[in-house]
Structure 1
Amino acid sequence: MVYYQKMTPEGYQEIEDEIARLKKDRPRRIKILQQARSMGDLSENTEYTEAKRDLGHLQSRLRYLGKQLKYAEVVKSEDNGEVNLGRTVILKFDDDEDTEEYKIVGRMEADLAKGKIAFDSPLGQAIMKKKAGVTATVAAPAGEYQVTIVEVK
């Protein structure tokens, strides 16, 4: 059985952009490897070892990203007033007066520092398919807490 990763169109595009950047950088890294190889004895050539490792990391990253695209299920956001993949939500946590804004994204796109939470994270699961005004209970590893959906954009 093939497991498809849900992601937003923006997340899919970000992966495509990273693949393009890496492919553009590959010839430069190959050239560095070739120059390091021409320096002589490979057993004591740290430039060669580092260049080979760097190229290997680049190739590995390209394979990984390629698989992410191959098994991606791009989900377009529905504007039905419910929290869903691709939507932005404004939340008020029960222990805080301030509100916070998050975009609901696929697991591979999640980045809390950028305000992106995964739809299948504890918070994401608690608010999915709910509308503004609803208070949900989040079952997090550190314990349960309440969050109110202020707005769905």
Structure 2
Amino acid sequence: MAHQRDFNPITAAGYQQIEQEIAALEADRPHKIEILAEARAHGDLSENAEYSAAKRDLRHLESRLRFLNKELQYARIVTPSADQVVELGKWVTLEFLDDHDTVTYQIVGTAEADLDAGKTTRVSPLGKAVMGHRVGDTVTVHAPAASYQVKLVAVSLTAPQS
């Protein structure tokens, strides 16, 4: 049995997203098996590019399913509180003090990170720096290339309206 520290915190939405990907892969699996069987029926497997590709695709699908099932096995859904403290699942608006740019990120578990969608992981340099801090705090972010300061402008349970 895993100890509490062995679990990976994740938002409820992130957990659901993994469940949806598993369902999609499981739905696609019979089709991949059918393609493999058709390619195998074409004869000589040593020079059968379709067979090799189908086998690789099925292996990739099976590997991804194993990975995602492990992700869920060790995931622990975290429900953030309604206070102004930065924690997993909350949206944080930050002002970069060097150029006064403002940006908003959701702090998420490692499996959910997607900067294009405005989601940064709690273990990223930025995530580590802001976790546990409150609106109005100024924190130093220690990134690989340089350190910089950000001020927490807002912390909320939902994404701010554009």
TM range (shorter): over 0.9
One of 64, 67, 78 as aligned partner of 2:70: 67
Residues in 2 aligned to 1:146 and 1:99: alpha-carbon distance in whole angstroms: 12
Residues in 1 aligned to 2:100 and 2:7: alpha-carbon distance in whole angstroms: 38
One of 30, 40, 43 as aligned partner of 1:40: 43
Residues in 2 aligned to 1:76 and 1:95: alpha-carbon distance in whole angstroms: 33
Matched, 1:109 2:106: no
Moved over 3 A (4+): none
One of 21, 24, 29 as aligned partner of 1:26: 29
One of 53, 56, 66 as aligned partner of 2:56: 53
Q: Which amino acid aligns with 2:86?
A: V
Matched, 1:128 2:131: yes
One of 93, 96, 118 as aligned partner of 1:90: 93
Structure 1 residue runs without a partner (length 5+): none
Q: Which amino acid aligns with 2:35?
A: I
Deviation at 1:70, TM superposition (A): 0.2
One of 48, 72, 77 as aligned partner of 2:80: 77
User: TM-score, with normalisation over the residues of structure 2?
Assistant: 0.91
Deviation at 1:6, TM superposition (A): 1.0
- RMSD, aligned CA: 1.0
What is the match of residue 14 of structure 2?
11
Residues in 1 aligned to 2:15 and 2:37: alpha-carbon distance in whole angstroms: 33
Deviation at 1:33, TM superposition (A): 0.4
What is the match of residue 146 of structure 2?
143
Residues in 2 aligned to 1:21 and 1:45: alpha-carbon distance in whole angstroms: 28
Q: Which amino acid aligns with 1:14?
A: Q
User: TM-score, with normalisation over the residues of structure 1?
Assistant: 0.96
Paired residue total = 153
